[in-house]
Amino acid sequence: MIRTHALTKVFRTRDREVTALDDVSLHVPEGEIFGVLGRSGAGKSTLIRTVNLLERPTSGTVEVGGRELTALSARELRAERLRIGMIFQHFNLLSGRDVAGNIAVPLEIAGVGRAERTRKVAELLDLVGLGQHAKAYPAQLSGGQKQRVGIARALANDPRVLLCDEATSALDPETTRSILDLLRELRASLGLTILLITHEMDVVKSICDSAALMEAGRVVESGTVTDLLARPDSRLARDMFPLGLPAPSTGTTILDITFRGAETAHPFVSTLARTYNVDVNILGAAVETLAGRQVGRMRIALDGSFEDNVVPIGYLREQGLQVDVLDAYDSGFAPAALPAQLPDAVPTLVKEA
Ligand SMILES: Nc1ncnc2c1ncn2[C@@H]1O[C@H](COP(=O)(O)OP(=O)(O)OP(=O)(O)O)[C@@H](O)[C@H]1O
């Protein structure tokens, strides 16, 4: 639904040049909630503003719903923009208009007649749960209610795409959850595709199907959240599931185990310890529900070298778990230089054990 290809944005001021986007290519499939994470200054806002061409890229292309926005005339672009809603961290409501008046703004701009506007505003108020607040002014609303007005306004022209610029960063955790729940419901009921930028890992954990990490204008990691989780070197996964780091010690094999869905219920650690009579030391573990599915990671230490533990490792892999072997001295996440697959003989050994 959204595709950017080799997007670059260079800001030139009198005394300096900043490359805010550097060769950014992203694909957000229809119906997906895609999160872009990154520290302040990474280029997130520039990216989201470039997707609806509030910011013109220096080079590269943007495609939304099969139309290349970067190739459109100003008039065509205005029409296409109606199909892209946007919400903001600080809501950007008009203080002199009540809730219904704020939601009506994009309908007025699109030239929708008064009767249809009234009908549509009432429908949108219900959709975001603000039916009782049509006559309230922004100053009389809580942050969560203001963001609901922002969402209703963004949906006024029935967009297929919703862009969210740090939409929950000004909200407390409970209100954040209710706004994220609303976004998830709207994705399901309206078939929206949502691109959001955030610096909060919890936002990605709770609603995103896919995510990208930006650094200095570049996308340094991207993929579905569950695939990222399965990559031992993924920084996003490490931040999503912080695990304890192993104390450096010789004669120990350290494993990172990733498990999903039904595997989370399987007591593989106790089975492993019993079956192979090995001591299993749990160094860290985290289980979360991502996109409605349980996933988790665990870091464990087994006594002995990798060669001593080939059979227990084969057992874990036979259970469908992803097992990455870390160097005993490695305090980071890079897997040790060991074969990705165990030798062919291992499964047989496991069965005989
Ligand atoms: N209009 C502009 N003129 C000059 N430089 C700009 C402009 N807009 C952004 N930048 C620069 O581009 C870089 C990326 O900024 P951007 O706002 O996209 O980052 P961000 O990841 O959204 O950060 P934040 O979370 O703080 O908003 C920064 O170095 C910023 O100073």
| pLDDT tens digits for range 72-97 | 999 999 889 888 999 999 999 999 99
Q: What is the ipTM of this complex?
A: 0.97
Residues 70 and 185 in one domain: yes
Residues 22 and 161 in one domain: yes
pLDDT of 320: 84
Please report whether residue 236 resides in a domain.
Answer: no
Mean pLDDT of 36-56: 94
Q: What is the pLDDT of residues 176-227, one digit of tens each?
A: 999 999 999 999 999 999 999 998 888 998 899 999 999 999 999 999 988 8
Asked if the model's pLDDT at residue 351 lies above 80, the reply is no
Per DSSP, which regions of the chain are E strands? Answer: 2-12, 17-28, 33-38, 59-64, 67-68, 84-88, 161-165, 193-198, 210-215, 218-224, 252-260, 280-290, 293-303, 322-326
Using a 6 Å cutoff on CB, does residue 21 contact ligand 1?
Answer: no
pLDDT of 6: 97
The CA distance from 5 to 23, in Å, is: 8
Cα-to-centroid distance, 41 and ligand 1 (Å): 5
pLDDT of 55: 94
Which atom of ligand 1 lies closest to the CA of 49?
Answer: 18
Q: In what order do the strands lie in the sheet with 84-88?
A: 84-88, 161-165, 193-198, 33-38, 210-215, 218-224
Three-class DSSP category at 220: strand
- pTM of the predicted model as reported, rounded to 2 decimal places: 0.80
Which atom of ligand 1 lies closest to the CA of 42?
Answer: 21
Mean pLDDT of 48-71: 95
Please report whether residue 235 resides in a domain.
Answer: no
Residues 128 and 262 in one domain: no
Q: What is the pLDDT of residues 144-155, one digit of tens each?
A: 999 999 999 999
Judge contact between 206 and 177, C-beta under 8 A.
yes
Tokens of 231: 């990559």
Cα-to-centroid distance, 310 and ligand 1 (Å): 49
pLDDT of 166: 93
Please report whether residue 234 resides in a domain.
Answer: no
Please report whether residue 51 resides in a domain.
Answer: yes
* CATH number of the domain residue 278 falls in: 3.30.70.260
pLDDT of 151: 97
Residue span of the structural domain in which 27 resides: 2-229
Residues 40 and 181 in one domain: yes
Please report whether residue 237 resides in a domain.
Answer: no
- Distance, C-alpha 44 to centroid of its chain: 13
Residues 31 and 169 in one domain: yes
Judge contact between 256 and 232, C-beta under 8 A.
yes
Q: Which of 9, 14, 40, 197 to mutate to test the pocket of ligand 1 (most atoms within 8 A of CB)?
A: 40
Judge contact between 42 and 215, C-beta under 8 A.
yes
Judge contact between 18 and 194, C-beta under 8 A.
no
pLDDT of 69: 95
Residues 199 and 280 in one domain: no
Which atom of ligand 1 lies closest to the CA of 46?
Answer: 18
Domain count of the fold of the chain: 2
Which atom of ligand 1 lies closest to the CA of 214?
Answer: 21
Using a 6 Å cutoff on CB, does residue 45 contact ligand 1?
Answer: yes
Cα-to-centroid distance, 51 and ligand 1 (Å): 15
Q: What is the pLDDT of residues 263-306, one digit of tens each?
A: 666 778 888 888 888 888 888 887 777 766 777 888 888 888 88
**What DSSP element (H or E) covers 135?**
none
The CA distance from 328 to 269, in Å, is: 19
Residues 126 and 70 in one domain: yes
